[in-house]
Chain A
Amino acid sequence: MVNELNTPEQRYMYRIRNLPLTLIHPPKGLVPLELGKLWRYRDLLYLFVWRDIKVRYKQTFVGTAWALLQPLIACLVLTLFFGKLARISSGEVPYPIFAYTALVPWTYFVNALTHSSNSLIFNSTIITRVYFPRLIIPISAVATGLLDFAIALLILFGLMVFYGIIPTLAVLTLPFFMLMSLATALGFGLWLAVLNVEYRDIKFILPFLTQIWLFATPVAYPSNLVPEKWRIVYGLNPMAGVVDGFRWAILGTNPPHMPLLIASITVVTILLIGGLFFFRYKEDTFADVV
Protein backbone atom coordinates (compact mmCIF):
# COMPACT_ATOMS: atom_id res chain seq x y z
CA MET A 1 0.00 0.00 0.00
CA VAL A 2 2.79 2.39 0.91
CA ASN A 3 4.53 1.83 -2.43
CA GLU A 4 1.34 2.67 -4.24
CA LEU A 5 1.11 6.14 -2.74
CA ASN A 6 4.30 7.66 -4.01
CA THR A 7 3.11 10.19 -6.55
CA PRO A 8 0.45 12.84 -5.92
CA GLU A 9 -1.77 11.20 -8.55
CA GLN A 10 -1.68 7.88 -6.72
CA ARG A 11 -2.36 9.51 -3.40
CA TYR A 12 -5.22 11.38 -4.97
CA MET A 13 -6.79 8.28 -6.54
CA TYR A 14 -6.48 6.48 -3.24
CA ARG A 15 -8.29 9.20 -1.40
CA ILE A 16 -11.08 9.80 -3.88
CA ARG A 17 -12.39 6.31 -3.16
CA ASN A 18 -13.55 7.26 0.29
CA LEU A 19 -14.39 10.92 0.20
CA PRO A 20 -15.83 12.58 3.25
CA LEU A 21 -19.06 14.49 2.76
CA THR A 22 -19.42 17.92 4.31
CA LEU A 23 -22.77 19.63 4.60
CA ILE A 24 -22.79 23.38 4.97
CA HIS A 25 -25.93 25.02 6.22
CA PRO A 26 -27.06 28.06 8.16
CA PRO A 27 -26.24 28.06 11.87
CA LYS A 28 -28.95 26.43 13.91
CA GLY A 29 -28.78 27.18 17.58
CA LEU A 30 -27.15 24.83 20.04
CA VAL A 31 -24.65 22.54 18.37
CA PRO A 32 -22.79 19.46 19.63
CA LEU A 33 -19.33 20.11 21.07
CA GLU A 34 -17.54 17.82 18.59
CA LEU A 35 -14.60 17.36 20.91
CA GLY A 36 -13.49 14.48 18.71
CA LYS A 37 -12.76 16.99 15.98
CA LEU A 38 -10.25 18.68 18.27
CA TRP A 39 -8.31 15.46 18.37
CA ARG A 40 -8.06 15.42 14.59
CA TYR A 41 -6.64 18.92 14.72
CA ARG A 42 -4.15 18.14 17.51
CA ASP A 43 -1.19 18.99 15.29
CA LEU A 44 -2.53 22.49 14.86
CA LEU A 45 -3.09 22.80 18.61
CA TYR A 46 0.48 21.72 19.18
CA LEU A 47 1.80 24.23 16.65
CA PHE A 48 -0.21 27.10 18.13
CA VAL A 49 1.20 26.37 21.59
CA TRP A 50 4.68 26.06 20.16
CA ARG A 51 4.31 29.31 18.22
CA ASP A 52 3.13 31.23 21.28
CA ILE A 53 5.92 29.89 23.45
CA LYS A 54 8.53 30.70 20.80
CA VAL A 55 7.20 34.16 20.18
CA ARG A 56 6.32 35.20 23.71
CA TYR A 57 9.79 36.09 24.90
CA LYS A 58 11.22 37.19 21.55
CA GLN A 59 12.82 40.62 21.73
CA THR A 60 12.69 40.71 25.52
CA PHE A 61 15.83 41.34 27.53
CA VAL A 62 15.55 38.64 30.19
CA GLY A 63 13.54 36.19 28.09
CA THR A 64 12.14 33.16 29.85
CA ALA A 65 13.27 34.58 33.18
CA TRP A 66 9.99 36.47 33.14
CA ALA A 67 8.34 33.23 34.12
CA LEU A 68 10.36 33.36 37.36
CA LEU A 69 10.34 37.09 37.93
CA GLN A 70 6.58 37.53 37.82
CA PRO A 71 5.70 35.36 40.84
CA LEU A 72 8.95 36.17 42.66
CA ILE A 73 8.48 39.94 42.53
CA ALA A 74 4.82 39.59 43.49
CA CYS A 75 5.93 37.37 46.38
CA LEU A 76 8.43 39.99 47.51
CA VAL A 77 5.81 42.72 47.47
CA LEU A 78 3.25 40.64 49.35
CA THR A 79 5.84 39.58 51.95
CA LEU A 80 6.82 43.18 52.49
CA PHE A 81 3.37 44.70 52.77
CA PHE A 82 1.14 41.91 54.02
CA GLY A 83 3.69 39.77 55.85
CA LYS A 84 5.83 42.44 57.49
CA LEU A 85 3.67 45.57 57.64
CA ALA A 86 0.13 44.23 58.00
CA ARG A 87 1.42 41.17 59.88
CA ILE A 88 -1.01 38.75 58.32
CA SER A 89 -0.62 35.39 59.98
CA SER A 90 0.52 32.60 57.70
CA GLY A 91 0.19 29.90 60.36
CA GLU A 92 3.17 27.66 61.02
CA VAL A 93 4.85 28.28 57.61
CA PRO A 94 7.04 31.29 56.81
CA TYR A 95 5.11 34.02 55.00
CA PRO A 96 7.25 34.11 51.77
CA ILE A 97 6.62 30.48 50.91
CA PHE A 98 3.02 30.80 52.07
CA ALA A 99 2.53 33.59 49.51
CA TYR A 100 4.63 32.04 46.77
CA THR A 101 2.71 28.76 46.91
CA ALA A 102 -0.46 30.69 46.14
CA LEU A 103 1.21 32.88 43.53
CA VAL A 104 2.18 29.90 41.37
CA PRO A 105 -1.40 28.95 40.41
CA TRP A 106 -2.53 32.58 40.62
CA THR A 107 0.05 33.92 38.16
CA TYR A 108 -0.71 31.07 35.81
CA PHE A 109 -4.42 31.78 36.10
CA VAL A 110 -4.12 35.50 35.37
CA ASN A 111 -1.85 34.95 32.37
CA ALA A 112 -3.94 32.11 30.98
CA LEU A 113 -7.16 34.06 31.46
CA THR A 114 -5.76 37.16 29.78
CA HIS A 115 -4.33 35.21 26.86
CA SER A 116 -7.40 33.14 26.23
CA SER A 117 -9.70 36.16 26.50
CA ASN A 118 -7.70 38.00 23.85
CA SER A 119 -6.89 34.91 21.78
CA LEU A 120 -9.68 35.19 19.21
CA ILE A 121 -8.81 38.79 18.49
CA PHE A 122 -5.09 38.10 18.21
CA ASN A 123 -5.83 35.37 15.71
CA SER A 124 -8.49 37.25 13.78
CA THR A 125 -6.66 37.14 10.44
CA ILE A 126 -6.53 33.37 10.66
CA ILE A 127 -10.16 33.11 11.75
CA THR A 128 -11.42 35.11 8.79
CA ARG A 129 -9.48 33.05 6.27
CA VAL A 130 -9.16 29.45 7.31
CA TYR A 131 -11.51 26.93 8.81
CA PHE A 132 -10.59 24.80 11.82
CA PRO A 133 -12.38 24.18 15.12
CA ARG A 134 -12.08 27.56 16.81
CA LEU A 135 -11.88 25.98 20.26
CA ILE A 136 -8.27 25.22 19.47
CA ILE A 137 -7.44 28.90 19.89
CA PRO A 138 -8.43 29.50 23.55
CA ILE A 139 -7.33 25.99 24.50
CA SER A 140 -3.87 26.59 23.09
CA ALA A 141 -3.80 29.94 24.92
CA VAL A 142 -4.29 28.31 28.33
CA ALA A 143 -1.93 25.47 27.42
CA THR A 144 0.87 27.87 26.51
CA GLY A 145 1.08 29.13 30.10
CA LEU A 146 1.80 25.63 31.37
CA LEU A 147 5.49 26.05 30.59
CA ASP A 148 5.72 29.10 32.84
CA PHE A 149 3.68 27.21 35.39
CA ALA A 150 6.20 24.36 35.36
CA ILE A 151 9.12 26.76 35.73
CA ALA A 152 7.48 28.53 38.67
CA LEU A 153 6.76 25.16 40.23
CA LEU A 154 10.43 24.22 40.05
CA ILE A 155 11.33 27.36 41.97
CA LEU A 156 8.68 26.42 44.50
CA PHE A 157 10.38 23.06 45.06
CA GLY A 158 13.63 24.94 45.51
CA LEU A 159 12.04 27.17 48.14
CA MET A 160 10.65 24.11 49.91
CA VAL A 161 14.15 22.70 50.21
CA PHE A 162 15.39 26.08 51.44
CA TYR A 163 12.72 26.32 54.13
CA GLY A 164 12.99 22.64 54.96
CA ILE A 165 9.40 21.79 54.16
CA ILE A 166 8.78 18.10 53.66
CA PRO A 167 5.67 17.40 51.55
CA THR A 168 2.99 15.15 53.00
CA LEU A 169 0.88 12.65 51.08
CA ALA A 170 -1.37 15.59 50.16
CA VAL A 171 1.16 16.43 47.43
CA LEU A 172 -0.47 13.67 45.37
CA THR A 173 -3.50 15.93 44.89
CA LEU A 174 -1.35 18.60 43.24
CA PRO A 175 -2.16 17.50 39.64
CA PHE A 176 -5.84 17.81 40.45
CA PHE A 177 -5.48 21.39 41.62
CA MET A 178 -3.26 22.22 38.64
CA LEU A 179 -5.98 20.89 36.36
CA MET A 180 -8.54 22.88 38.28
CA SER A 181 -6.67 26.15 37.77
CA LEU A 182 -6.45 25.35 34.06
CA ALA A 183 -10.17 24.61 33.98
CA THR A 184 -10.93 27.87 35.77
CA ALA A 185 -8.84 29.89 33.33
CA LEU A 186 -10.42 28.13 30.36
CA GLY A 187 -13.91 28.31 31.83
CA PHE A 188 -13.79 32.06 32.25
CA GLY A 189 -11.56 32.51 29.19
CA LEU A 190 -14.09 30.92 26.83
CA TRP A 191 -16.84 33.30 27.90
CA LEU A 192 -14.63 36.36 27.81
CA ALA A 193 -13.05 35.44 24.47
CA VAL A 194 -16.46 35.14 22.82
CA LEU A 195 -17.69 38.39 24.35
CA ASN A 196 -14.44 40.09 23.36
CA VAL A 197 -15.15 39.35 19.70
CA GLU A 198 -18.27 41.49 19.84
CA TYR A 199 -17.44 43.87 22.66
CA ARG A 200 -13.90 45.08 22.95
CA ASP A 201 -14.83 46.42 26.38
CA ILE A 202 -13.53 43.12 27.70
CA LYS A 203 -10.00 44.21 26.90
CA PHE A 204 -10.39 47.12 29.30
CA ILE A 205 -12.30 45.25 31.96
CA LEU A 206 -9.76 42.45 32.18
CA PRO A 207 -6.79 44.04 33.99
CA PHE A 208 -9.16 45.71 36.39
CA LEU A 209 -11.07 42.47 36.96
CA THR A 210 -7.97 40.42 37.74
CA GLN A 211 -6.78 43.06 40.19
CA ILE A 212 -9.98 42.91 42.19
CA TRP A 213 -10.03 39.15 41.84
CA LEU A 214 -6.67 38.92 43.60
CA PHE A 215 -8.22 40.40 46.73
CA ALA A 216 -11.11 37.94 46.59
CA THR A 217 -8.63 35.06 46.51
CA PRO A 218 -6.61 33.83 49.51
CA VAL A 219 -3.24 34.69 47.99
CA ALA A 220 -1.97 37.30 50.44
CA TYR A 221 -3.96 35.99 53.39
CA PRO A 222 -5.22 32.58 54.55
CA SER A 223 -8.84 31.70 53.77
CA ASN A 224 -9.60 31.03 57.44
CA LEU A 225 -9.72 34.81 57.90
CA VAL A 226 -13.12 34.53 56.24
CA PRO A 227 -15.84 33.67 58.80
CA GLU A 228 -16.80 30.02 58.55
CA LYS A 229 -20.42 30.61 57.55
CA TRP A 230 -19.30 32.78 54.61
CA ARG A 231 -16.73 30.38 53.27
CA ILE A 232 -19.15 28.58 50.98
CA VAL A 233 -19.96 31.92 49.37
CA TYR A 234 -16.26 32.71 49.26
CA GLY A 235 -15.77 29.42 47.43
CA LEU A 236 -17.94 30.63 44.56
CA ASN A 237 -14.67 32.17 43.42
CA PRO A 238 -13.10 28.98 42.07
CA MET A 239 -9.61 30.36 42.53
CA ALA A 240 -10.26 30.29 46.29
CA GLY A 241 -10.62 26.52 46.09
CA VAL A 242 -7.60 26.21 43.80
CA VAL A 243 -5.31 28.28 46.02
CA ASP A 244 -6.42 26.58 49.22
CA GLY A 245 -5.95 23.19 47.61
CA PHE A 246 -2.54 24.14 46.29
CA ARG A 247 -1.37 25.28 49.71
CA TRP A 248 -2.57 22.13 51.34
CA ALA A 249 -0.95 19.93 48.67
CA ILE A 250 2.42 21.67 48.91
CA LEU A 251 2.71 22.77 52.51
CA GLY A 252 0.60 20.08 54.13
CA THR A 253 -1.11 22.63 56.36
CA ASN A 254 -4.80 22.55 57.15
CA PRO A 255 -6.86 20.82 54.43
CA PRO A 256 -9.28 22.95 52.39
CA HIS A 257 -12.64 23.73 53.90
CA MET A 258 -14.94 21.18 52.23
CA PRO A 259 -18.02 23.36 51.48
CA LEU A 260 -15.66 25.98 50.01
CA LEU A 261 -13.92 23.43 47.80
CA ILE A 262 -17.18 21.87 46.64
CA ALA A 263 -18.58 25.30 45.77
CA SER A 264 -15.44 26.02 43.74
CA ILE A 265 -15.54 22.72 41.87
CA THR A 266 -19.23 23.18 41.08
CA VAL A 267 -18.70 26.68 39.72
CA VAL A 268 -15.76 25.58 37.56
CA THR A 269 -17.69 22.64 36.12
CA ILE A 270 -20.73 24.73 35.25
CA LEU A 271 -18.63 27.55 33.79
CA LEU A 272 -16.50 25.25 31.70
CA ILE A 273 -19.33 23.19 30.23
CA GLY A 274 -21.48 26.27 29.72
CA GLY A 275 -18.53 28.08 28.19
CA LEU A 276 -17.87 25.26 25.73
CA PHE A 277 -21.47 25.27 24.53
CA PHE A 278 -21.61 29.06 24.43
CA PHE A 279 -18.42 29.11 22.40
CA ARG A 280 -19.71 26.55 19.90
CA TYR A 281 -23.00 28.42 19.66
CA LYS A 282 -21.24 31.68 18.79
CA GLU A 283 -18.41 30.13 16.79
CA ASP A 284 -20.16 30.54 13.43
CA THR A 285 -20.35 34.29 13.78
CA PHE A 286 -16.68 34.93 14.67
CA ALA A 287 -15.48 35.34 11.10
CA ASP A 288 -18.21 37.88 10.34
CA VAL A 289 -17.88 39.94 13.50
CA VAL A 290 -14.26 39.88 14.61
Chain B
Amino acid sequence: MGNIAIRTVNLGKLFYLNQKKRGKLRETLEEKIRLSLKHLFTALSPDAKKNEKKHLFVNKHIWALKNVSFEVKHGEAVGILGHNGAGKSVLLKILSQVTKPTEGYAEIHGRVGAMLEVGTGFHPELTGRENIYLSGAILGMTRREIKTKFDEIVEFSEIGDLLDMPIKYYSSGMQGRLAFAVAVHLEPEILLIDEVLAIEDISFKQKCLSKLKEIVREGRTVLFVSHNMDSLKTLCNRAILLERGKIVFDGDIKKAISKYLSGNPDAKL
Protein backbone atom coordinates (compact mmCIF):
# COMPACT_ATOMS: atom_id res chain seq x y z
CA MET B 1 0.00 0.00 0.00
CA GLY B 2 1.03 3.60 0.12
CA ASN B 3 0.14 3.86 -3.52
CA ILE B 4 -2.13 6.54 -4.88
CA ALA B 5 -5.81 5.65 -4.66
CA ILE B 6 -7.29 8.94 -5.86
CA ARG B 7 -5.62 11.80 -7.63
CA THR B 8 -7.51 14.83 -8.85
CA VAL B 9 -5.95 17.53 -10.98
CA ASN B 10 -7.59 20.93 -11.32
CA LEU B 11 -11.08 19.50 -11.11
CA GLY B 12 -13.77 22.03 -11.89
CA LYS B 13 -17.52 21.81 -12.21
CA LEU B 14 -19.59 24.53 -13.78
CA PHE B 15 -23.32 24.86 -13.20
CA TYR B 16 -25.60 27.05 -15.23
CA LEU B 17 -28.04 29.08 -13.23
CA ASN B 18 -30.26 30.36 -15.99
CA GLN B 19 -32.09 27.03 -16.22
CA LYS B 20 -32.29 27.47 -19.95
CA LYS B 21 -31.54 23.83 -20.48
CA ARG B 22 -34.32 22.74 -18.17
CA GLY B 23 -36.94 24.91 -19.75
CA LYS B 24 -39.68 24.07 -22.12
CA LEU B 25 -39.10 22.98 -25.65
CA ARG B 26 -40.72 26.11 -27.05
CA GLU B 27 -38.45 28.48 -25.14
CA THR B 28 -35.35 26.65 -26.23
CA LEU B 29 -36.48 26.66 -29.83
CA GLU B 30 -37.27 30.35 -29.64
CA GLU B 31 -33.87 31.01 -28.11
CA LYS B 32 -32.16 28.97 -30.79
CA ILE B 33 -34.01 30.72 -33.59
CA ARG B 34 -33.34 34.13 -32.10
CA LEU B 35 -29.66 33.37 -31.71
CA SER B 36 -29.21 31.95 -35.15
CA LEU B 37 -30.90 35.00 -36.62
CA LYS B 38 -28.58 37.19 -34.61
CA HIS B 39 -25.61 35.17 -35.78
CA LEU B 40 -26.82 35.47 -39.31
CA PHE B 41 -26.80 39.25 -39.05
CA THR B 42 -23.42 39.38 -37.36
CA ALA B 43 -21.93 36.74 -39.61
CA LEU B 44 -20.07 39.36 -41.60
CA SER B 45 -17.90 40.30 -38.64
CA PRO B 46 -16.55 37.21 -36.89
CA ASP B 47 -15.39 39.24 -33.86
CA ALA B 48 -18.86 40.40 -33.09
CA LYS B 49 -20.09 36.83 -33.17
CA LYS B 50 -17.46 35.72 -30.68
CA ASN B 51 -18.38 38.48 -28.29
CA GLU B 52 -22.02 37.63 -28.53
CA LYS B 53 -21.31 34.04 -27.58
CA LYS B 54 -19.10 35.03 -24.68
CA HIS B 55 -21.71 37.37 -23.36
CA LEU B 56 -24.19 34.52 -23.12
CA PHE B 57 -22.16 32.71 -20.50
CA VAL B 58 -21.31 35.66 -18.33
CA ASN B 59 -23.16 35.96 -15.02
CA LYS B 60 -25.19 32.87 -15.59
CA HIS B 61 -23.00 30.22 -14.10
CA ILE B 62 -21.35 29.18 -10.87
CA TRP B 63 -18.24 27.11 -10.32
CA ALA B 64 -19.32 24.49 -7.81
CA LEU B 65 -15.72 23.26 -7.84
CA LYS B 66 -12.65 25.03 -9.12
CA ASN B 67 -9.00 23.96 -9.31
CA VAL B 68 -9.44 21.11 -6.89
CA SER B 69 -6.27 19.05 -6.78
CA PHE B 70 -5.37 16.49 -4.14
CA GLU B 71 -4.04 13.00 -3.68
CA VAL B 72 -5.26 10.26 -1.42
CA LYS B 73 -3.19 7.17 -0.75
CA HIS B 74 -4.56 3.67 -0.31
CA GLY B 75 -5.63 3.10 3.26
CA GLU B 76 -6.16 6.75 4.07
CA ALA B 77 -9.38 8.03 5.59
CA VAL B 78 -9.95 11.61 4.58
CA GLY B 79 -12.71 13.85 5.85
CA ILE B 80 -14.21 16.49 3.60
CA LEU B 81 -15.34 19.62 5.38
CA GLY B 82 -17.16 22.66 4.23
CA HIS B 83 -20.32 24.66 4.59
CA ASN B 84 -23.45 23.97 2.60
CA GLY B 85 -22.78 24.59 -1.05
CA ALA B 86 -19.00 24.39 -0.66
CA GLY B 87 -18.87 21.60 -3.23
CA LYS B 88 -18.44 18.53 -1.04
CA SER B 89 -21.25 16.53 -2.57
CA VAL B 90 -20.35 17.56 -6.10
CA LEU B 91 -16.82 16.32 -5.49
CA LEU B 92 -18.08 12.94 -4.37
CA LYS B 93 -20.48 12.78 -7.29
CA ILE B 94 -17.65 13.39 -9.71
CA LEU B 95 -15.45 10.77 -8.07
CA SER B 96 -18.27 8.24 -8.16
CA GLN B 97 -18.92 9.08 -11.85
CA VAL B 98 -22.48 10.21 -11.29
CA THR B 99 -21.65 13.52 -12.92
CA LYS B 100 -18.80 14.66 -15.13
CA PRO B 101 -16.36 17.44 -14.32
CA THR B 102 -16.25 20.50 -16.57
CA GLU B 103 -12.48 20.68 -16.48
CA GLY B 104 -9.51 18.88 -15.03
CA TYR B 105 -9.42 15.16 -14.44
CA ALA B 106 -9.29 12.50 -11.76
CA GLU B 107 -7.59 9.13 -11.56
CA ILE B 108 -9.04 6.39 -9.45
CA HIS B 109 -7.14 3.21 -8.71
CA GLY B 110 -9.60 0.61 -7.60
CA ARG B 111 -13.30 -0.02 -7.41
CA VAL B 112 -15.37 2.78 -5.99
CA GLY B 113 -18.41 2.32 -3.82
CA ALA B 114 -20.51 5.31 -3.00
CA MET B 115 -23.02 5.89 -0.25
CA LEU B 116 -24.25 9.23 -1.45
CA GLU B 117 -27.63 8.82 0.08
CA VAL B 118 -28.82 5.96 2.16
CA GLY B 119 -31.69 4.01 0.67
CA THR B 120 -31.03 4.84 -2.95
CA GLY B 121 -33.05 2.51 -5.11
CA PHE B 122 -35.34 1.28 -2.38
CA HIS B 123 -38.82 0.61 -3.63
CA PRO B 124 -41.63 1.04 -1.08
CA GLU B 125 -43.77 -1.76 -2.51
CA LEU B 126 -41.03 -4.37 -2.27
CA THR B 127 -40.18 -6.33 0.87
CA GLY B 128 -37.06 -5.82 2.95
CA ARG B 129 -35.57 -8.97 1.47
CA GLU B 130 -36.23 -7.82 -2.09
CA ASN B 131 -34.90 -4.36 -1.39
CA ILE B 132 -31.63 -5.76 -0.06
CA TYR B 133 -31.06 -7.37 -3.44
CA LEU B 134 -32.21 -4.37 -5.41
CA SER B 135 -30.22 -1.74 -3.56
CA GLY B 136 -27.19 -4.02 -3.33
CA ALA B 137 -27.19 -4.38 -7.11
CA ILE B 138 -27.66 -0.66 -7.61
CA LEU B 139 -24.69 0.01 -5.35
CA GLY B 140 -22.59 -2.31 -7.49
CA MET B 141 -22.79 -5.76 -5.92
CA THR B 142 -23.52 -8.87 -7.92
CA ARG B 143 -26.40 -11.11 -6.90
CA ARG B 144 -23.91 -13.73 -5.80
CA GLU B 145 -22.12 -11.25 -3.52
CA ILE B 146 -25.40 -10.20 -1.98
CA LYS B 147 -26.44 -13.78 -1.40
CA THR B 148 -23.27 -14.57 0.53
CA LYS B 149 -23.67 -11.48 2.70
CA PHE B 150 -27.42 -11.62 3.05
CA ASP B 151 -27.54 -12.97 6.60
CA GLU B 152 -24.89 -10.53 7.77
CA ILE B 153 -26.87 -7.63 6.31
CA VAL B 154 -30.11 -8.74 7.93
CA GLU B 155 -28.41 -9.23 11.27
CA PHE B 156 -26.73 -5.84 11.11
CA SER B 157 -29.98 -4.08 10.26
CA GLU B 158 -31.84 -5.60 13.24
CA ILE B 159 -35.12 -5.65 11.34
CA GLY B 160 -35.86 -9.25 12.30
CA ASP B 161 -39.37 -10.45 11.47
CA LEU B 162 -40.16 -7.55 9.20
CA LEU B 163 -37.86 -8.89 6.51
CA ASP B 164 -40.71 -10.11 4.32
CA MET B 165 -42.94 -7.05 4.71
CA PRO B 166 -43.07 -4.28 2.12
CA ILE B 167 -40.82 -1.53 3.40
CA LYS B 168 -43.56 1.06 3.07
CA TYR B 169 -44.77 -0.31 6.41
CA TYR B 170 -41.35 0.24 8.02
CA SER B 171 -40.63 3.27 10.17
CA SER B 172 -38.18 5.68 8.59
CA GLY B 173 -35.61 4.68 11.19
CA MET B 174 -35.93 1.04 10.19
CA GLN B 175 -35.63 1.89 6.52
CA GLY B 176 -32.47 3.84 7.29
CA ARG B 177 -31.01 0.92 9.22
CA LEU B 178 -31.69 -1.51 6.42
CA ALA B 179 -30.23 0.84 3.84
CA PHE B 180 -27.11 1.46 5.87
CA ALA B 181 -26.69 -2.25 6.50
CA VAL B 182 -26.62 -2.89 2.75
CA ALA B 183 -24.24 -0.03 2.08
CA VAL B 184 -21.61 -0.97 4.68
CA HIS B 185 -21.39 -4.44 3.25
CA LEU B 186 -20.01 -3.15 -0.01
CA GLU B 187 -16.45 -4.23 -0.52
CA PRO B 188 -14.81 -1.83 -2.92
CA GLU B 189 -11.30 -0.56 -2.23
CA ILE B 190 -12.50 3.03 -2.13
CA LEU B 191 -15.59 4.18 -0.29
CA LEU B 192 -17.19 7.56 -0.73
CA ILE B 193 -19.55 8.40 2.11
CA ASP B 194 -21.81 11.42 2.18
CA GLU B 195 -23.69 12.33 5.37
CA VAL B 196 -24.99 8.86 5.93
CA LEU B 197 -24.66 9.11 9.68
CA ALA B 198 -27.66 11.38 9.90
CA ILE B 199 -29.30 8.57 11.84
CA GLU B 200 -31.25 9.46 14.94
CA ASP B 201 -31.03 6.17 16.81
CA ILE B 202 -27.96 6.64 19.03
CA SER B 203 -27.10 3.01 19.59
CA PHE B 204 -27.39 2.20 15.91
CA LYS B 205 -25.26 5.23 15.10
CA GLN B 206 -22.54 3.88 17.36
CA LYS B 207 -22.76 0.55 15.62
CA CYS B 208 -22.41 2.24 12.23
CA LEU B 209 -19.43 4.24 13.38
CA SER B 210 -17.63 1.20 14.66
CA LYS B 211 -18.40 -0.61 11.42
CA LEU B 212 -16.89 2.28 9.49
CA LYS B 213 -13.85 2.23 11.76
CA GLU B 214 -13.45 -1.44 10.98
CA ILE B 215 -13.55 -0.60 7.28
CA VAL B 216 -10.77 1.94 7.76
CA ARG B 217 -8.75 -0.54 9.81
CA GLU B 218 -9.00 -3.09 7.01
CA GLY B 219 -6.89 -0.68 5.01
CA ARG B 220 -9.57 0.57 2.66
CA THR B 221 -9.63 4.12 1.42
CA VAL B 222 -12.47 6.29 2.66
CA LEU B 223 -13.59 9.79 1.72
CA PHE B 224 -16.05 10.94 4.31
CA VAL B 225 -18.32 13.97 4.12
CA SER B 226 -20.00 14.92 7.36
CA HIS B 227 -21.10 17.83 9.45
CA ASN B 228 -20.58 15.81 12.57
CA MET B 229 -17.15 16.69 13.92
CA ASP B 230 -17.07 13.79 16.37
CA SER B 231 -17.58 11.19 13.68
CA LEU B 232 -14.98 12.88 11.52
CA LYS B 233 -12.44 12.92 14.32
CA THR B 234 -12.92 9.27 15.15
CA LEU B 235 -12.67 8.12 11.55
CA CYS B 236 -10.13 10.35 9.85
CA ASN B 237 -6.80 11.89 10.62
CA ARG B 238 -6.70 14.08 7.56
CA ALA B 239 -9.29 16.48 6.19
CA ILE B 240 -9.80 18.67 3.19
CA LEU B 241 -11.64 21.92 3.81
CA LEU B 242 -13.63 23.29 0.90
CA GLU B 243 -14.94 26.81 0.61
CA ARG B 244 -16.93 27.95 -2.39
CA GLY B 245 -15.62 25.11 -4.49
CA LYS B 246 -11.94 25.62 -3.65
CA ILE B 247 -9.61 23.81 -1.31
CA VAL B 248 -8.64 26.19 1.49
CA PHE B 249 -6.96 23.66 3.76
CA ASP B 250 -5.66 20.13 3.40
CA GLY B 251 -4.01 18.41 6.33
CA ASP B 252 -4.41 17.44 9.96
CA ILE B 253 -8.03 16.82 10.94
CA LYS B 254 -7.93 18.91 14.14
CA LYS B 255 -6.52 21.94 12.39
CA ALA B 256 -9.06 21.54 9.62
CA ILE B 257 -11.90 21.37 12.10
CA SER B 258 -10.77 24.44 14.04
CA LYS B 259 -10.33 26.32 10.81
CA TYR B 260 -13.78 25.21 9.71
CA LEU B 261 -15.39 26.14 13.02
CA SER B 262 -13.79 29.56 13.10
CA GLY B 263 -15.77 30.32 9.98
CA ASN B 264 -18.94 28.81 11.39
CA PRO B 265 -19.54 29.17 15.14
CA ASP B 266 -22.89 27.36 14.99
CA ALA B 267 -21.54 23.96 14.01
CA LYS B 268 -21.90 21.13 16.49
CA LEU B 269 -18.72 20.22 18.35
Chain B nearest CB from A44 CB (Å) reads 5
Pick the contact of B96: A43, A130, A200 (CB < 8 A).
A130
Give B83-115 as 1s and 0s: 1 = Cβ < 8 Å from A's Cβ atoms: 000000000011111111111111111111010
Give B1-44 as 1s and 0s: 1 = Cβ < 8 Å from A's Cβ atoms: 10000000000000100000110110010000000000000000
Given A58-B125, A131-B114, A26-B101 contact (CB < 8 Å): yes
Pick the contact of B25: A23, A125, A199 (CB < 8 A).
A199
Chain B nearest CB from A179 CB (Å) reads 26
**A16-B189, A27-B100, A287-B99 given. 9 additional CB < 8 A pairs?**
A12-B187, A22-B108, A23-B107, A25-B105, A43-B142, A51-B130, A54-B125, A198-B22, A284-B100
Give chain A's interface residue range (CB within 8 Å of chain B).
35 or more
Q: How far is the CA of A287 from the CA of B138 in the complex (A)?
A: 15
Which residue of chain B is the closest to A284 with respect to CB atoms? B100
A-B contact pairs, 21 of them (CB 8 A): A9-B219, A12-B187, A12-B220, A19-B109, A20-B109, A21-B109, A22-B112, A23-B107, A23-B108, A24-B95, A26-B101, A51-B134, A54-B125, A55-B125, A125-B120, A127-B98, A130-B138, A130-B139, A198-B21, A199-B24, A284-B99
**B209: CB under 8 A from chain A?**
no
Main secondary structure of the interface of B (DSSP, over half): loop
Give chain B's interface residue range (CB within 8 Å of chain A).
35 or more
Pick the contact of A20: B110, B123, B218 (CB < 8 A).
B110
Q: Are B114 and A24 in contact (CB under 8 A)?
A: no
Q: What B residues does A58 contact at CB under 8 A?
A: 125
**B74: CB under 8 A from chain A?**
yes
Give B50-76 as 1s and 0s: 1 = Cβ < 8 Å from A's Cβ atoms: 000000000000000000000000100
Chain A nearest CB from B214 CB (Å) reads 9
Q: What A residues does B99 contact at CB under 8 A?
A: 284, 287-288
Chain B nearest CB from A192 CB (Å) reads 12
Q: How far is the CA of A75 from the CA of B117 in the complex (A)?
A: 47
Chain A nearest CB from B234 CB (Å) reads 20
**A85: CB under 8 A from chain B?**
no
Q: Are B189 and A47 in contact (CB under 8 A)?
A: no
Q: Are A131 and B105 in contact (CB under 8 A)?
A: no
**A229: CB under 8 A from chain B?**
no
**B260: CB under 8 A from chain A?**
no
**Counting chain B CB atoms within 10 Å of each CB, which of A12, A15, A26 scores highest?**
A26
Q: How far is the CA of A9 from the CA of B187 in the complex (A)?
A: 10
Enumerate chain B interface residues (CB-CB to A < 8 A).
1, 15, 21-22, 24-25, 28, 74, 93-112, 114, 116-117, 120-121, 123, 125-126, 130, 133-134, 137-140, 142-143, 187, 189, 218-220
Which residue of chain B is the closest to A42 with respect to CB atoms? B142
**A150: CB under 8 A from chain B?**
no
Given A24-B106, A198-B21, A51-B123 contact (CB < 8 Å): yes
Q: Are A51 and B218 in contact (CB under 8 A)?
A: no
Q: Are A130 and B134 in contact (CB under 8 A)?
A: no
Q: How far is the CA of A235 from the CA of B17 in the complex (A)?
A: 44
Given A11-B187, A16-B189, A129-B95 contact (CB < 8 Å): no
**A132: CB under 8 A from chain B?**
yes
Q: What A residues does B15 contact at CB under 8 A?
A: 288
Given A26-B103, A284-B100, A16-B110 contact (CB < 8 Å): yes
Q: How far is the CA of A47 from the CA of B138 in the complex (A)?
A: 9
Q: What A residues does B74 contact at CB under 8 A?
A: 16
Chain A nearest CB from B125 CB (Å) reads 5
Q: What B residues does A92 contact at CB under 8 A?
A: none
Q: How far is the CA of A284 from the CA of B108 in the complex (A)?
A: 18
Q: What B residues does A126 contact at CB under 8 A?
A: 120-121, 138
**A201: CB under 8 A from chain B?**
yes
Q: Are A12 and B100 in contact (CB under 8 A)?
A: no
Q: How far is the CA of A9 from the CA of B217 in the complex (A)?
A: 9
Which residue of chain A is the closest to B185 with respect to CB atoms? A8
Chain B nearest CB from A24 CB (Å) reads 4
Pick the contact of A12: B24, B134, B189 (CB < 8 A).
B189
Q: How far is the CA of A22 from the CA of B108 in the complex (A)?
A: 5
**A225: CB under 8 A from chain B?**
no
Q: How far is the CA of A127 from the CA of B105 in the complex (A)?
A: 21
Q: Are B108 and A21 in contact (CB under 8 A)?
A: yes
Q: Are B120 and A43 in contact (CB under 8 A)?
A: no
